[in-house]
């Protein structure tokens, strides 16, 4: 299995690979009978069982047309979509059969062709509300993940060479599908290529409003082989979007566009020659690694693409990941070498209005606090709903779901803030972009620290680490450094990137009347000096208001303290979040 991964990526570096074309619109041209569908008319996945000869023939013809990669007939092969046909109990068998048919077609051809398991987005969304309740969803993150796991398991057991998560219109659903795929890989001890392909509008945004750049930032990890676009509309409108992202990811880039848009009769009429001509700029700009067709494309389109890419150079992967130091809401935010203001008033303990609105479950009104924070300059929103009386897990879920549907606020990255890790997990399950978690620490020991860190890593979020261990809070610079270095070494042992590690060395109060407290600011600055010199690329976060907490009520004096302190720390060439 690992050999397949190596061979596939090696070929992608050497030449442009051709993906096959549409399955559904090709099947529509067959004179299928009600018996072929076995009472499930319109469900093409049942044909894997009732008419495997037809599915085999489609694969065979695409291979003959020049396809290097063929997709299994499994786009809707999940319990959510198949429930409409009362076939939800057949997901594994139909998925496995789809892979076996494709595998047989490759074997008979005698050619080297990769089989990718096609996984569509299901007909439910994790991001859109159901009815008039803004936080109600048709399915939960965990339910979606378990549904996709069954499909992935069937595809792997049927012999696929990779997984294609395609026609993504909801980044949160895609995140659930990616985690599901990775979990099945781990359970079966396999490692296969994973390709991610989104359907977007002409501005390059998903139906949820999330930009393609944000999707890449949120889902990028070692297991992902390629990012790209499919469906949407014709090649002419997608080509500029491909060229736009070609320098923004160190992964391979794919495109399989529709044969234009359907006419008033629902027919796709764009010719193979027209598609070939529209795709030419990708070849001229050396901007593509995988090229194929989606809705309305046929064997002629794939034949034309095969001729177009023959002997042409593939896109070369950039050495530098320009998005590595980004967080994302619906849009990306690059915090590299920037002083970044985090809005912390979306906190039950920090805003009376926010507390009242959360207690009354008036989440739309609570968004006003977030909007005010953004207007005041916040680039990241800290969300904290910890309270002994409230169900904080439920409140985090509900508030984030409402927030994600506000087009203005949803652009901003989220900092999920809680002392209860169950609340943090729920936050991660309801954030489509790349979030930052605030926070974890070594207070409960190494094992628990790593358990939490692995979960956050799997969701693709950045991690704030408090300077706190089994012995207590780090007060002196020596203790802060000791804890930070230990946490860093542990995070690196599980593959966390430096850009995803943010230290909170604790800004403690000065002016309390105790002699030792006079040096708290100095100890913090010493610690960030160490981080800058020895843990390069990691970030630093601090609660600025803590510094002058002893002077609460004297806002003029507090502002003066903050100004002087910020002048000192901003001289450091660090990634700073406050």
- The pLDDT value recorded for residue 165 is 98
CB 435 within 8 A of CB 462: yes
Rounded Cα distance between 295 and 277, Å, is 18
CB 518 within 8 A of CB 510: yes
Domain made up of 2-309: CATH architecture: Alpha-Beta Barrel (3.20)
2-309 and 440-578: identical CATH topology: yes
CA atoms within 13 A on the CB side of 255: 35
CA torsion sign for 6, 10, 16, 18 is negative
- ω before 37 within 30° of 0 (cis)? no
Rounded Cα distance between 537 and 130, Å, is 42
Give the relative orientation of helices 446-458 and 421-428 as an angle to the nearest 10 degrees.
Answer: 10
In degrees, rounded to 5, the angle at the alpha carbon of residue 191 between the alpha carbons of residues 187 and 194 is: 110
Rounded Cα distance between 386 and 464, Å, is 17
Q: How far is CA 265 from CA 235, 290, 540, in A?
A: 21, 31, 58
- The pLDDT value recorded for residue 554 is 84
Rounded Cα distance between 114 and 73, Å, is 14
User: For each of the chain's 578 residues, which pLDDT tens digit applies?
Assistant: 668 889 999 999 999 999 999 999 999 999 999 999 999 999 999 999 999 999 999 999 999 999 999 999 999 999 999 999 999 999 999 999 999 999 999 999 999 999 999 999 999 999 999 999 999 999 999 999 999 999 999 999 999 999 999 999 999 999 999 999 999 999 999 999 999 999 999 999 999 999 999 999 999 999 999 999 999 899 999 999 999 999 999 999 999 999 999 998 888 999 999 999 999 999 999 999 999 999 999 999 999 999 999 999 999 999 999 999 999 999 999 998 788 889 989 999 889 999 999 999 999 999 999 999 999 999 999 999 999 999 999 999 999 999 999 999 999 999 999 999 999 999 999 999 999 999 999 999 999 999 999 999 999 999 999 999 999 999 999 999 999 999 999 999 999 999 999 999 998 888 777 877 788 888 999 999 999 999 999 999 987 778 877 788 788 888 887 788 887 777 554 455 55
Task: Write phi, then psi, for 459 (nearest 5 degrees).
Answer: -85, -5
- The pLDDT value recorded for residue 405 is 95
Topology given in CATH for the domain delimited by 336-434: TIM Barrel (3.20.20)
CATH top-level class of 440-578: alpha beta
The end-to-end CA distance of the chain, in Å, is 45
347: part of which helix (H) or strand (E)? strand 342-347
CB 307 within 8 A of CB 283: no
Q: Which residues contact 288 (CB under 8 A, 6 or more apart)?
A: 16, 242, 246, 253, 254, 255, 282, 314, 315
Q: Which residues of 1-20 are buried (b: 16+ CB within 10 A; e: fewer)?
A: eeebbeebbebbeeebbbbb
- The pLDDT value recorded for residue 520 is 85
Q: Which residues contact 432 (CB under 8 A, 6 or more apart)?
A: 126, 127, 170, 171, 172, 175, 208, 210, 214, 218, 330, 404
CA quadruple 366, 370, 372, 376: dihedral, nearest 10: 160
Please count the helices (runs of H) and the strands (runs of E) in the chain: 22, 21
- The pLDDT value recorded for residue 515 is 77
CA 151 to chain centre: 20
In degrees, rounded to 5, the angle at the alpha carbon of residue 5 between the alpha carbons of residues 453 and 231 is: 85
- The pLDDT value recorded for residue 1 is 63
Task: Delimit the domains of the chain by residue range.
Answer: 2-309, 336-434, 440-578
The strand pair at 114-119 and 162-168 is best described as parallel
Q: Which residues contact 331 (CB under 8 A, 6 or more apart)?
A: 211, 213, 214, 411, 412
- The pLDDT value recorded for residue 160 is 98
């Amino acid at each position: 299995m690992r050999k397949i991964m190596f061979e596939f990526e090696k070929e992608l570096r050497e030449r442009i690979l051709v993906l096959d074309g549409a399955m559904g619109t090709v099947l529509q041209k067959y004179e299928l009978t009600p018996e072929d569908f076995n009472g499930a008319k319109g469900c093409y996945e049942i044909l894997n069982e009732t008419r495997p000869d037809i599915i085999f023939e489609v694969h065979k013809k695409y291979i003959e047309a020049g396809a290097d990669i063929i997709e299994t007939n499994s786009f809707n092969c999940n319990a959510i979509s198949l429930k409409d046909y009362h076939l939800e109990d057949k997901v594994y068998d139909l998925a496995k059969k789809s892979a076996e048919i494709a595998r047989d077609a490759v074997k008979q051809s005698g050619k080297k062709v990769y089989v990718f398991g096609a996984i569509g987005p299901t007909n439910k969304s994790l991001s859109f509300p159901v009815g008039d309740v803004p936080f109600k969803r048709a399915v939960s993150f965990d339910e979606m993940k378990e549904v996709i796991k069954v499909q992935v398991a069937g595809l792997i057991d049927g012999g696929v060479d990779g997984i294609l998560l395609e026609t993504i219109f909801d980044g949160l659903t895609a995140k659930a599908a990616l985690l599901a795929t990775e979990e099945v890989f781990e359970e079966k001890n396999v490692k296969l290529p994973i390709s991610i392909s989104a359907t977007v509008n002409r501005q390059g945004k998903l139906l949820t409003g999330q930009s393609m750049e944000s999707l890449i930032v949120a889902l990028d990890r070692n297991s992902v082989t390629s990012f790209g676009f499919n469906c949407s509309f014709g090649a002419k409108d997608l080509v500029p979007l491909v060229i736009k992202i070609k320098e923004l990811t160190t992964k391979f880039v794919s495109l399989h566009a529709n044969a234009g848009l359907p006419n008033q009769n629902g027919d796709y009429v764009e010719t193979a020659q027209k598609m070939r001509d529209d795709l030419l700029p990708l070849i001229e700009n050396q901007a593509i690694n995988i090229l194929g067709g989606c809705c309305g494309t046929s064997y002629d389109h794939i034949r034309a693409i095969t001729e177009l890419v023959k002997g042409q150079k593939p896109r070369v992967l950039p050495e530098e990941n320009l998005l590595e130091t980004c967080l994302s809401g619906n849009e990306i935010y690059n915090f590299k070498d920037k002083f970044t203001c985090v809005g912390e008033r979306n906190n039950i303990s920090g805003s009376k209005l926010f507390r009242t609105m959360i207690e009354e479950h008036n989440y739309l009104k609570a968004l006003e606090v977030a909007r005010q924070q953004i207007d005041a300059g916040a680039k990241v929103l800290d969300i904290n709903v910890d309270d002994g009386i409230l169900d904080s897990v439920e409140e985090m879920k509900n508030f984030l779901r409402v927030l994600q549907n506000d087009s203005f606020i949803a652009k901003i990255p989220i900092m999920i803030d809680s002392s209860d890790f169950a609340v943090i997990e729920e936050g991660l399950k309801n954030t489509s972009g790349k979030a930052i978690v605030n926070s974890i620490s070594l207070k409960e020991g190494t094992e628990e620290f790593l358990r939490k860190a692995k979960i956050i890593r799997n969701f693709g979020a950045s991690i704030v680490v408090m300077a706190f261990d089994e012995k207590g809070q780090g007060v002196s610079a020596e203790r802060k450094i000791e804890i930070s270095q230990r946490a860093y070494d542990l995070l690196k042992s599980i593959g966390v990137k430096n850009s995803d590690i943010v230290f909170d060395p604790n800004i403690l109060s000065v002016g309390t009347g105790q002699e030792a407290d006079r040096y708290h600011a100095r100890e913090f600055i010493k610690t960030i000096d160490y981080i800058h010199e020895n843990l390069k690329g990691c970030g630093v976060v601090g609660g600025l208001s803590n510094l002058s907490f002893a002077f609460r009520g004297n806002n003029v004096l507090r502002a003066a303290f903050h100004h002087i302190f910020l002048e000192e720390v901003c001289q450091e060439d660090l990634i700073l979040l406050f």
